[in-house]
């Protein structure tokens, strides 16, 4: 019989094996992974973590590594700067653009140009969800090059 003092230190059902935390064993790097490029290591880390299955049977994506999260954060900041560049560049061209096109057309194009980096980033994240990490990085690099804010780069930062 458990005394009243020991009762506070135990909980009914502590010995239930289904309540034990599921900890995956840590694996060491193989000889092939030691000399691998960062893109191959990112891909290997993504493949190494198995997808967990929830109660309703849907497979949840595996957790990303720290390197992958930091890389995506850096690209998120780059895409935010691209949107700011399109805002500043488009606002500087507003007077000149009114000489050639309808002001409403310039405003619509300006809003689409500002939204384009966010749309590219979100689309890349959704469409490359189940793909290798290096493919997501390549798509983000291509988007960063394609979406360079040329009006801002050509006019500079002068007032």
Residue 87 vs residue 159, higher pLDDT: 87
Q: How many CA atoms lie within 13 A of 37 on its CB side?
A: 4
Which of these, 75, 82, 110, 83, lies nearest to 96 by C-alpha position?
110
Residue 122 has pLDDT above 80, yes or no: yes
Q: Which residues pair with 53 in a beta bridge?
A: 59
Residue 119 has pLDDT above 90, yes or no: yes
- Mean pLDDT taken over the chain: 78
| pLDDT tens digits along 49-106 | 555 555 555 555 667 788 989 999 999 999 999 999 999 888 888 888 888 888 888 8
Q: Which residues pair with 59 in a beta bridge?
A: 53
Residues written for the chain? 159
In this prediction, residues 2-31 reach a mean pLDDT of 64
pTM: 0.58
């Amino acid at each position: 019989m458990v005394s009243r003092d020991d009762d506070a230190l135990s909980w009914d059902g502590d010995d239930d094996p289904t309540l034990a935390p599921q900890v995956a064993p840590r694996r060491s790097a193989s000889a092939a992974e030691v000399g691998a490029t960062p893109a191959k290591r990112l891909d290997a880390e993504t493949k190494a973590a198995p997808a967990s299955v929830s109660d309703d049977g849907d497979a949840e994506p595996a957790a990303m590594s720290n390197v992958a999260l930091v890389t995506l954060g850096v690209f998120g900041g780059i895409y935010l700067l691209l949107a700011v560049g399109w805002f500043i560049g488009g606002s500087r061209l507003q007077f000149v653009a009114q000489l050639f096109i309808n002001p409403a057309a310039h405003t619509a194009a300006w809003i689409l140009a500002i939204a384009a980096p966010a749309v590219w980033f979100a689309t890349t994240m959704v469409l490359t969800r189940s793909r290798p990490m290096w493919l997501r990085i390549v798509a983000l690099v291509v988007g960063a090059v394609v979406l360079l804010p040329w009006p801002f780069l050509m006019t500079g930062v002068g007032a």
